[in-house]
Amino acid sequence: MSTVKGVAPPIEKYDGSSLRVLIVHARWNATVVDALVKGAIDTMTNEYSVKSENITIQSVSGSYELPFATQRLIAASRLQATPNAAELFSTTSTGEQTGPPPVNTQTFDVAICIGVLIKGSTMHFEYIADAASNGIMRVGLDSGVPCVFGVLTCLNEDQALERAGLGSSEKKHNHGIDWGHCAVELAVKNRGWMTADHVMFIY
């Protein structure tokens, strides 16, 4: 039986070869989270030519911490991208590096926040889900960097496994794949939206 649920594929093929991507993931429910992270990375690198060296991966303990970590990492990437950032790294007259190794000084074009919440017997699930979803949205709006909401909010373990492409269910699908598609599309479109000649005004 066919279903109407699901996202339609993008109209055009996007080139992600110049993008810098941030992935911040929680360590709770690591088996499911790891599969989701891999799904997102494989999609971006294999289908959109995102360079693996341009994908930064950071972890935090839980989904509640995702917004704060993402906000700080976006801010750090902007600091690295300032003209004075190069002065932080020095060399001797012989060319020997005396400071830390060079870093990628491109700002992040998009962030994917990944976590897995599974409902228990208390209200903890509801509070964390609400805080994480609102926090991630706020980081994107405040920073201007698209933040993909990659937090599964599941009622049981089977739902979580199914949505990470794991388990035996025929309906299983790795949502990390969808987040990878979404991240590249948003990043490329956001670059265009920031230049007036790429904005279409409808009257």
State the pLDDT at residue 194.
86
State residue 9's pLDDT score.
Answer: 73
What's residue 197's pLDDT? 54
pLDDT for 25 equals: 99
In a domain, 52, yes or no: yes
What pLDDT, on a 0 to 100 scale, did the predictor assign at position 92? Answer: 47
36 is a domain residue:
yes
Supply the pLDDT for residue 94.
45
Predicted pLDDT of residue 151: 99
Sequence-distant (6+) residues with CB within 8 A of 153 are 117, 119, 125, 129
Radius of gyration of the chain from its Cα atoms, rounded to whole angstroms:
19
| Structural domains in the chain (count) | 1
Closest CA to 114 of 161, 72, 65, 81: 65
Judge whether 14 lies within some domain. no
Give the pLDDT of residue 146.
98
Structural domain contains residue 93: no
Whether 5 maps to a domain, the answer reads no
Query: Would residue 165 count as lying in a domain?
Result: yes
The per-residue pLDDT for 91 is 44
Collect the ranges in the chain with pLDDT lower than 50.
88-97, 100-102, 203
Where residue 148 sits, what CATH number does that domain have? 3.40.50.960
Calpha distance 34→142 (Å, rounded): 28
From CA 61, how far away is CA 73, in angstroms rounded? 16
pLDDT digits (tens, 9 = 90+) for 108-159: 999 999 999 999 999 999 999 999 999 999 999 999 999 999 999 999 999 9
Residues acting as catalytic residues = 124
User: Which residues form the domain of 35?
Assistant: 21-80+104-198
Q: Is residue 73 part of a domain?
A: yes
Pairing of strands 21-26, 55-60: parallel
